[in-house]
Amino acid sequence: MKIKPLPPLNSLVAFESAARYLSFTQAAMELNVTQGAISRQIRLLEDYLGRSLFVRDKRSLSLTQTGEEYFFSVQQSLQLLANATGEVLEWQDNKQITVVTSNAMASLWLLPRLADFQDRHPDIDVRIFANDTLKGVRPSEYDVALFYYRKPPAGMVATPLFSERVFPVCSPLFLEKQALAQPEDIFATTLLWLDSSKDWLGWTEWFQQMAIKPAPPKRRLNLNNYPMLIQAALNGQGVALGWEQLVCHYLDSGLLVRPVPVELNTEACFYMLEPEITLRRKPGVDEFRAWLLELVTAEQIEQRAAD
């Protein structure tokens, strides 16, 4: 049976990338071609379909309604094709699972706990892909994702892991040199400021939700990487916002302390995300999922007992 109508396959790959990024330039970088080549492939596809897929103006690129509907179908179809090809080529070892997560979650939460999983499942290799956003990462590139969201992305099986308590932290040495009795006193010190994504809670949002009128801090040190920001706090360079699950080891060891007792319970939470569509679930994913949920449950019970 001949499959028809079937558009030019190269144009589908170009369209999927351009629609995912909403950028011909980024699509060209991903596919290692010129921006003009991407534009030509999109035009070829639009001519074949007889419909416009993008709304183009000088400053932005967006999908038409047809483009949005077509993008979903094309992406899912390419994903199934990639999964099938991977099975034939044995592209990934069946005993290797790939976990994509943020740099903060990888270095401060997952890695300190991963030895337990490796001890329990020595036959399963874990590959950690650290990336501060899931946007632009193809579902075929990972098996499990761990990210903080107010609302998890569509097309995923999302399992809530834990919400967070967020509070100021600093080194004991830094605290000795400061007079911090109230949250407002933090403005007289150096604030370690994270240039964050829309879902990540920063100082501005923290003060607002705590009903504390923000004032210009005496000094600010801006960083775009949370592990680096926590390292600055450990170095005694200022006060950071500590996410309880990410800094608990430093608090337990005394390397970090809470200068004031106030805290904020976040409305969003960390999720375990799994692609909805996979050709065949890889061995090892179920073991990792079960271990992760068992770990989170045990730590929550321990935390409630401590409280």
Write down the pLDDT at residue 255. 96
Q: Which amino acid is present at 27? A: A
Strands 264-275, 144-149: parallel, antiparallel or unpaired by DSSP?
antiparallel
- The rounded distance, in Å, linking the Cα atoms of 81 and 202 is 40
Nearest to 77 by CA among 20, 26, 16: 16
**Chain Cα centroid distance, residue 130:** 8
Residue 14: closest CA among 35, 4, 140: 35
Q: Is the pLDDT of residue 183 over 90?
A: no
Q: Residue 5 burial (CB < 10 Å; 0-12/13-18/19+)?
A: exposed
For 27-62, the pLDDT digits (tens) are 988 888 899 999 999 999 999 999 999 998 877 899
Please give the domain boundaries of the chain with CATH numbers for all domains.
Answer: 9-89 (1.10.10.10), 96-160+268-306 (3.40.190.10), 164-265 (3.40.190.10)
Query: pTM value?
Result: 0.69
Amino acid at 120: R
Kindly report, residue by residue over 203-253, the tens digit of the pLDDT: 888 888 888 887 778 888 999 889 999 999 999 999 999 999 999 999 999
Give dist(CA 285, CA 163) in Å, integer. Answer: 23
**Residue type for 160, please?**
P
What are the φ and ψ backbone dihedral angles of 274, each rounded to 5 degrees? -130, 135
Contact partners, residue 212, CB within 8 Å, separation at least 6? 183, 184
Q: Please tell me the predicted confidence (pLDDT) of residue 156.
A: 86
Q: In this predicted model, which residue has the larger pLDDT, 197 or 4?
A: 4
Q: Average the pLDDT over 275-300 and give the result.
A: 84
Query: Whose CA is closest to 83, among 276, 306, 297?
Result: 276
Closest CA to 168 of 179, 183, 154, 149: 183
Rg of the chain (C-alpha set): 23
pLDDT at 277: 66
Four-point Cα dihedral 208, 214, 216, 217, nearest 10: -80
